């Protein structure tokens, strides 16, 4: 109880201090504070001004242009861990007593550990494996869509965008009898923890999610070690080179990275098309545009808006000195709106000529391992929706999640009918 009180007080004081800085115009503080967080794109435009490097009073440096984001992500001077021993806790740690042991995942470690962990997980995403996942994704998409469209109105997020990636990643990992509602909860709680622990309530929910996921994976790992199947848990459990804790952490990362993000890709796509009905008509008229449409959503409204890097030695970015072991945030969402990289960047245009690559899947050593799977899921989901919905008819204002790193909707109510458009 005392730990919760201490945590609650610390978080409240921190939040108030950050909000004060935001109200005084600090760009980075604005990205995490209300009301500015709801639409980060004007703040990004400000942060791209000048050299595109910004020093926040929060002692964080941000990089906002496409060129600098790309450079920092590829530059081996920058890692994800500090070298001075002052490690931040792994993103999923609640900070409360009684938590299962949480260690950093591949996303949070540098070479050589990163190279080893990534190499062990990579076979699950080989081109042959990705092709093999197609039929299952199409079947799950058709089933969920049929059920949603049979209703008078449906919540795209709860009825389609969340359960689809959960079904896909559960099949990949070989998790039987998926309890979708529980996984949605874990995903939300863990996804929100990318912003840091938000409240005592969030910390408690995080501890519970960690405990329950760990219990599930410990059981599945024991079963698959004894009796391996064709799934990814079996492959990881029977490979050498992973400690028991790394094995559980890798499974947990794949589960979380695999659905929170893809859910928001689908939600952000549908809402963006709702506001750009001419582009929806264009996609419906030419289904071959679906791959380009997914990439345009990833550029325009990416589910992961930013990531962080830590320089391993004193260095500089575009002439601004950056101290060893300080925090640099790389604004992936801003890179996609940089006019130096994309013409008319604030326009959503699924037919735009191929220009720079968006950075929605990051770049460099930590480039998203699941990107081919995410693209495939996005294409199948969007293609099926375009085939089924002549217009995207929102029946209520969508609800956005109150998170910064993950950008996405918590609710988007649609009518399956062909009536007038809203949004
Ligand atoms: C639209 C969907 C997705 C988006 C936007 C996305 C985005 C990202 C980003 C930005 C990173 C790197 C963060 C950094 O550089 O610090 C990342 C890493 C990763 N993603 Fe994804 N992701 C998506 C889907 C998936 C899926 C479906 C899976 C797996 C099933 C997955 C698994 C991973 C893993 C394992 C990493 C860590 C890679 C590493 O550290 O080497 N992601 N993702």
Residue 261 in this model has a pLDDT that exceeds 80: yes
Mutating to test ligand 1, I would choose from 171, 191, 370, 372 the residue with most ligand atoms within 8 A of its C-beta, which is 370
Residue 410 in this model has a pLDDT that exceeds 70: yes
3-state secondary structure of 414: strand
Q: Which of 138-152, 221-235, 366-380 has the lowest mean pLDDT?
A: 221-235
* DSSP assignment of 131-169: HHHHHHHHHHHHHHHHHHHTSSSEEHIIIIITHHHHHHH
Considering only residues 322 and 260, tell me which one the structure prediction assigns the higher pLDDT: 322
Mean pLDDT calculated for residue range 322-348:
97
Task: Indicate the domain borders of the chain.
Answer: 2-415
Q: Give the CA distances from residue 28 to residues 56, 155, 163, 320, 403, in Å, rounded to whole numbers and listed in that order.
A: 6, 32, 33, 17, 14
Residue 419 in this model has a pLDDT that exceeds 60: no
User: pLDDT (tens digit, 9 = 90+) per residue, 33-54?
Assistant: 999 999 999 999 999 999 999 9
Mutating to test ligand 1, I would choose from 261, 333, 360, 377 the residue with most ligand atoms within 8 A of its C-beta, which is 261
| Nearest-CA residue for atom 31 of ligand 1 | 370
Is the CB of residue 408 less than 8 Å from the CB of residue 303?
A: yes
Cα–Cα distance for residue pair 183/334, rounded to 1 Å: 30
Split at pLDDT 50, 70, 90, the class of 418 is low
The single-letter DSSP state of residue 327 is E
User: pLDDT (tens digit, 9 = 90+) per residue, 104-133?
Assistant: 999 999 999 999 999 999 998 999 999 999
Does the Cβ of 328 fall within 6 Å of ligand 1?
no
pLDDT, mean over the chain: 91
Residue 420 in this model has a pLDDT that exceeds 50: no
Give me the count of residues in the chain.
Answer: 423
Is the CB of residue 394 less than 8 Å from the CB of residue 413?
A: yes
Name the one residue in this structure whose structure tokens are 């990531």.
307
Q: Was domain 2-415 assigned CATH 1.10.10.10?
A: no
Cα–Cα distance for residue pair 409/190, rounded to 1 Å: 16
Cα–Cα distance for residue pair 125/372, rounded to 1 Å: 7
């Amino acid at each position: 109880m005392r730990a919760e009180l201490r945590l609650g007080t610390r978080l409240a004081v921190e939040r108030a201090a950050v909000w004060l800085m935001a109200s005084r115009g600090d760009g980075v503080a604005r990205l995490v504070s209300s009301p500015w967080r709801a639409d980060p794109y004007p703040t990004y435009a400000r942060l791209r001004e000048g050299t595109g490097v910004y020093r926040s009073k929060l002692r964080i440096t941000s990089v906002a242009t496409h060129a600098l984001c790309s450079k920092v992500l590829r530059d081996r001077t920058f890692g994800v861990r500090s070298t001075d021993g002052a490690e931040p806790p792994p993103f999923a740690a609640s900070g409360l007593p009684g938590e299962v042991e949480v260690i950093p995942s591949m996303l949070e470690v540098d070479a050589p550990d990163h190279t080893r962990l990534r190499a062990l997980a990579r076979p699950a995403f080989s081109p042959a494996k990705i092709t093999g996942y197609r039929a299952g994704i199409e079947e799950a998409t058709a089933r969920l869509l049929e059920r949603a469209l049979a209703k008078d109105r449906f919540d795209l997020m709860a009825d389609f965008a969340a359960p689809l990636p959960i079904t896909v990643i559960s099949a990949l990992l070989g998790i039987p009898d998926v309890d979708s509602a529980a996984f949605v909860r874990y995903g939300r709680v863990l996804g929100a923890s990318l912003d840091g622990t938000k409240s005592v309530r969030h910390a408690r929910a995080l501890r519970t999610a960690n405990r329950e996921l760990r219990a599930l994976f410990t059981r599945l790992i024991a079963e698959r070690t004894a009796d391996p199947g064709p799934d990814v848990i079996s492959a990881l459990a029977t490979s050498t080179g992973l400690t028991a804790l790394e094995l559980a952490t890798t499974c947990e990362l794949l589960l979380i990275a695999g659905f929170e993000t893809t859910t928001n890709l689908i939600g952000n796509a549908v809402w963006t098309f709702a506001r750009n009905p001419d582009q929806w008509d264009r996609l419906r008229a030419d289904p071959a545009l679906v791959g380009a449409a997914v990439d345009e959503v990833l550029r325009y409204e990416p589910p992961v808006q930013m990531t962080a890097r830590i320089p391993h030695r004193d260095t500089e970015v575009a002439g601004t000195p950056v101290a060893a072991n300080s925090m640099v945030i790389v604004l992936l969402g801003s890179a996609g709106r940089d006019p130096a990289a994309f013409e008319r960047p604030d326009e959503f245009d699924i037919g735009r000529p191929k220009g720079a690559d968006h950075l929605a899947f990051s770049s460099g050593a930590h480039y998203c391992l699941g990107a081919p799977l995410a693209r495939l899921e996005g294409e199948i989901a969007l293609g099926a929706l375009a085939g089924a919905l002549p217009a995207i008819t929102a029946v209520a204002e969508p609800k956005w999640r109150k998170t910064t790193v993950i950008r996405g909707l918590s609710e988007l109510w649609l009518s399956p009918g062909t009536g007038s458009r809203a949004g």
